[in-house]
Amino acid sequence: MSNNNRNFGAGPGKIPDEVLKEAQLEFLSYQNIGFSVTELSHRSEAYAKINQEAQDDLRELLNVPSNYKILFLHGGGQGLFSAVAMNLIGENGTANYAVAGIWSKIAANEAKKYGRIDLVFPEPDSGTIPAINDWTINPKASYLYYCDNETIQGIEFPFVPDSKEVPLVADMSSNLLTRKFDVSKFGVIIAAVQKNLGTAGLGIVIIKDTLLDKALNICPSILNFKLINEYESILNTPPIFSIYMFGKVLKWIKNQGGLDKMEQLSIQKSQLLYNTLKQSNGFYHNNIPEQNRSRINVPFRINKGDVDMENKFLKEAEERKLFQLKGHKLVGGIRVSMNNAVTCEDVQVLVEFMKEFQQENQ
Amino acid sequence: MSNNNRNFGAGPGKIPDEVLKEAQLEFLSYQNIGFSVTELSHRSEAYAKINQEAQDDLRELLNVPSNYKILFLHGGGQGLFSAVAMNLIGENGTANYAVAGIWSKIAANEAKKYGRIDLVFPEPDSGTIPAINDWTINPKASYLYYCDNETIQGIEFPFVPDSKEVPLVADMSSNLLTRKFDVSKFGVIIAAVQKNLGTAGLGIVIIKDTLLDKALNICPSILNFKLINEYESILNTPPIFSIYMFGKVLKWIKNQGGLDKMEQLSIQKSQLLYNTLKQSNGFYHNNIPEQNRSRINVPFRINKGDVDMENKFLKEAEERKLFQLKGHKLVGGIRVSMNNAVTCEDVQVLVEFMKEFQQENQ
């Protein structure tokens, strides 16, 4: 947001300035129709267009094949965790989970309500993702689930797991639209929008059409993929404002140069930061093995976990208008999240501060 | 919204002009903190305050007793329908439903996924709600459910059903905060916000604390009342913008004079409209018995269901900037929704148009 504040929050995170300004400008009268988008009927032509364009733009940006459906759900990430299990595990089913961090663990625990959940490798404590050959995948599992980017520990998968015949399900809440990938390798992709994609209240599902018809009877209608698909994501009143903002963010990404540009910037920003950690000779320390480090979320400790020093860092950062740098309470320390809306300049200003802070406090 | 447009939509419906203008003004920087409310972390102090104040203001306006909890959920009305059943029916349970219109029927059908649902009276086809002595209430039912105002047919309960020892559950999505009532008569009150209370994406639950701990194991976390209560409605990232707008609407109601004022205006507006129907000598016809007519949603047919005439009415109404008057597709005709944000002047302008239209077309 304007006035030189820089927001490094993981999520809800920064939204592009251009998107916020556009939304503000038309807040009282959406496209001069005389009503606010917040008052728009979900049965209106204006909303049908918002709904359709958001789907079309996401399809275009990710090159989603025509046999995949795009769904909009209430409920955010936690709702999606339940929805995945209830829609895919089948009666008396079993599923495999690759738990490499906290979000995949929460998803696995939620899924245990609905069937048998087996982990494909023991939970790593070091941030090391085992090589795919070391995964124990049950060929009869209804699906194999993983979280592509773990925001809390700062772990990102450098490969798409080869799940053979088992449908692959990925949570991409924190890195969708930050790099190119082949959607056709997946059965289902889920993402809550409040990180890279907009404002809270909306979950996105991209699903291969052959997987639509497997929901358990006890699945609530608002989480039922088949039903939501039949209603083209207007089963009940959708989270209209979140979908509207999501649509604006998609158009912003297209205007910036699409996924090529987002991926390039993401590499550039994360390299700048990781290089600064490396050059600090241990003053700033991230413990994730290099090949599994996240481009999006970079947690680190200062002086081997000196909490007083970390608090000093956070305080001085805020004086420089560098915000939302506190690490997640489960891991402590500092966390820098570099969502799409965070600019190279934002990261440049941050690393300059980090270098100065080290000089003054080492 | 400004520029003399008048919005009679049932929901999403009109939001008070003052609320929209305030939200627009601070859209780029919420309370001058330098970030948009759409970017606000759900773990921030600023959000904690929004979350708490919305609960406090609702508690104050409705005089909610201290042994009742207020919860904010993702998912809107349909999500609440599932949540009620999963949280209250209990293992192998049974529930009673008073189905007097389409919304209670949808709720009952959703509940059938989770237990045995018995109707307390045969579905009325005339809009007549049977007297409470004619209801067959199973004293062992886990709860008795009804919808206090049916937006599609325009039916409103003129009494609070006496459910004896059975916890009473009411859907007040379309008339909460339009009249005073005694919360302590209820076990649970649910409401989606996009009608009288704000913008879509949020469901409200008011629940007696003794009912919090009965959820089925298969209840998704985002719909689990006990869990949401434990996390003070910040279990996962909540629909922040909807809660923020809801909070603003509550403050607007307080500034207008609270529930006394809302109830008085609601009576005034609906009397003006029903009198116009009556004086039309059948040109405009609403078929709901007088004692069960809704103060909020008034459906009617023109010339005994003359569709061409109704379309002419809608077209000419729009030329006068009177919008969202088309009846729900299940019942056809015209529907006037008079949510709290609809002013007496709005209704005055509408009934003047109706009288002129009748004179010209009878």
User: Do B72 and B105 reside in the same domain of the chain?
Assistant: yes
H or E segment to which residue A218 belongs: none
Judged by CB atoms closer than 8 Å, whether chains meet at A11 and B237 is answered as yes
Mean pLDDT, residues B339-353: 97
**pLDDT category, A283, cuts 50, 70, 90?**
very high
Q: Which of A204, A224, A84 is nearest to A144 (CA)?
A: A84
Mean pLDDT, residues A254-261: 97
Higher pLDDT, B186 or A125: B186
Judged by CB atoms closer than 8 Å, whether chains meet at A42 and B12 is answered as yes
CB burial of residue B254 (10 Å; 0-12, 13-18, 19+): middle
Considering CB atoms only, which of B12, B28, B36 is closest to A240?
B12
Q: Computed over its alpha carbons, how large is the radius of gyration of chain A?
A: 21
Q: Nearest C-alpha of chain B: how many angstroms from A21? A: 7
For residue B214, the model assigns a pLDDT of 95
For residue B244, the model assigns a pLDDT of 98
Is position B348 within any domain?
yes
pLDDT at position B216 over 50: yes
Q: Which residues of B touch A218 (CB under 8 A)?
A: 113-114, 218
Contact B116, B136 (CB under 8 A): no
* Residues of the domain holding A328: 257-361
Judged by CB atoms closer than 8 Å, whether chains meet at A34 and B323 is answered as yes
Q: Which residues of B touch A24 (CB under 8 A)?
A: 24, 27-28
Task: Look over chain B and give the mean of its residue pLDDT values, rounded to a whole number.
Answer: 96
C-alpha to C-alpha distance for A243 and A300, rounded to whole angstroms? 34
Is position A342 within any domain?
yes
Least confident of A134-148, B94-108, B123-137: B123-137
- Answer with the one of A221, A240, A255 that is the final residue of a domain: A255
For residue B221, the model assigns a pLDDT of 97
Is position B234 within any domain?
yes
Is position B11 within any domain?
no
For residue B126, the model assigns a pLDDT of 82
Judged by CB atoms closer than 8 Å, whether chains meet at A35 and B11 is answered as no
Whether the full predicted model's pTM is greater than 0.90, yes or no, is: yes
Mean pLDDT, residues A252-263: 98
Contact A283, A358 (CB under 8 A): yes
User: Do B246 and B125 reside in the same domain of the chain?
Assistant: yes
- Answer with the one of B190, B224, B255 that is the final residue of a domain: B255
CB of B21 less than 8 A from some CB of A: yes
**pLDDT category, A1, cuts 50, 70, 90?**
very low
Query: Scanning every residue of chain A, which has its alpha carbon at the shortest distance from the alpha carbon of B322?
Result: A34
Judged by CB atoms closer than 8 Å, whether chains meet at A200 and B239 is answered as yes
User: Do A289 and A168 reside in the same domain of the chain?
Assistant: no
User: Do A149 and A241 reside in the same domain of the chain?
Assistant: yes
pLDDT tens figures, A284-317? 999 999 999 999 999 999 999 999 999 999 999 9
**pLDDT category, B4, cuts 50, 70, 90?**
confident
User: Do A116 and A263 reside in the same domain of the chain?
Assistant: no
- Answer with the one of B235, B255, B275 that is the final residue of a domain: B255
- The pair of structure tokens assigned to A64 is 């989603």
Q: Nearest C-alpha of chain A: how many angstroms from B238? A: 6
Catalytic residue list of B: 103, 171, 195
Judged by CB atoms closer than 8 Å, whether chains meet at A241 and B110 is answered as no
Q: Nearest C-alpha of chain A: how many angstroms from B325? A: 12
C-alpha to C-alpha distance for B72 and B207, rounded to whole angstroms? 11
Q: Which residues of B touch A76 (CB under 8 A)?
A: 74, 222, 236-237, 239
User: Do A269 and A356 reside in the same domain of the chain?
Assistant: yes
Considering CB atoms only, which of B13, B23, B239 is closest to A239?
B239
Judged by CB atoms closer than 8 Å, whether chains meet at B2 and A28 is answered as yes
Q: Nearest C-alpha of chain B: how many angstroms from A281? A: 32
Q: One-letter amino acid identity for B68?
A: Y
**ipTM attached to this prediction:** 0.97
CB of A200 less than 8 A from some CB of B: yes
Burial B221-249 (b: 16+ CB within 10 A, else e): bbbbbbbbbeeebbbbbbbbbbbbbbbbb
Judged by CB atoms closer than 8 Å, whether chains meet at A110 and B221 is answered as yes
pLDDT at position B24 over 80: yes
Contact A114, A85 (CB under 8 A): yes
User: Do A268 and A147 reside in the same domain of the chain?
Assistant: no
- Looking up residue A80, the CATH number of its domain turns out to be 3.40.640.10
For residue B204, the model assigns a pLDDT of 98
pLDDT tens figures, B222-250? 999 999 999 999 999 999 999 999 999 99
- Which residue in B39, B72, B91, B202 has the most chain A C-beta atoms within 10 A of its own C-beta, making it the best mutation to test that interface? B39
Considering CB atoms only, which of B29, B113, B241 is closest to A218?
B113
* CB contacts < 8 A (A, B): 215
Q: Which of B339, B360, B18, B287 is nearest to B175 (CA)?
A: B339
Is position B8 within any domain?
no
User: Do B250 and B272 reside in the same domain of the chain?
Assistant: no
User: Do A58 and A163 reside in the same domain of the chain?
Assistant: yes
User: Do B320 and B213 reside in the same domain of the chain?
Assistant: no
Number of other residues whose CB lies within 10 A of the CB of residue B21: 13
For residue B1, the model assigns a pLDDT of 43
Percent of the residues in chain A that have a pLDDT greater than 90, as a whole number: 94
Residue window 301-330, chain B: list those with CB within 8 Å of chain A: 321, 323-324
Residue window 221-250, chain B: list those with CB within 8 Å of chain A: 221-223, 235-242, 245
pLDDT at position A118 over 60: yes
User: Do B191 and B318 reside in the same domain of the chain?
Assistant: no
Is position A142 within any domain?
yes
Write down the residue that tokens 């948009």 correspond to. Answer: B36
pLDDT tens figures, B258-297? 999 999 999 999 999 999 999 999 999 999 999 999 999 9
User: Do B182 and B211 reside in the same domain of the chain?
Assistant: yes
Is position B64 within any domain?
yes
C-alpha to C-alpha distance for B325 and B55, rounded to whole angstroms? 33
CB of B2 less than 8 A from some CB of A: yes
Quote the number of domains for chain A: 2
For residue B3, the model assigns a pLDDT of 60
For residue A3, the model assigns a pLDDT of 60
Helix (H, G, I), strand (E, B), or coil: what is residue A316?
A: helix
Helix (H, G, I), strand (E, B), or coil: what is residue A57?
A: helix
Is position B347 within any domain?
yes
- Looking up residue A316, the CATH number of its domain turns out to be 3.90.1150.10
Q: Which residues of B touch A20 (CB under 8 A)?
A: 27-28, 36, 38-39
- Which residue in A73, A222, A319, A320 has the most chain B C-beta atoms within 10 A of its own C-beta, making it the best mutation to test that interface? A222
pLDDT at position B91 over 90: no
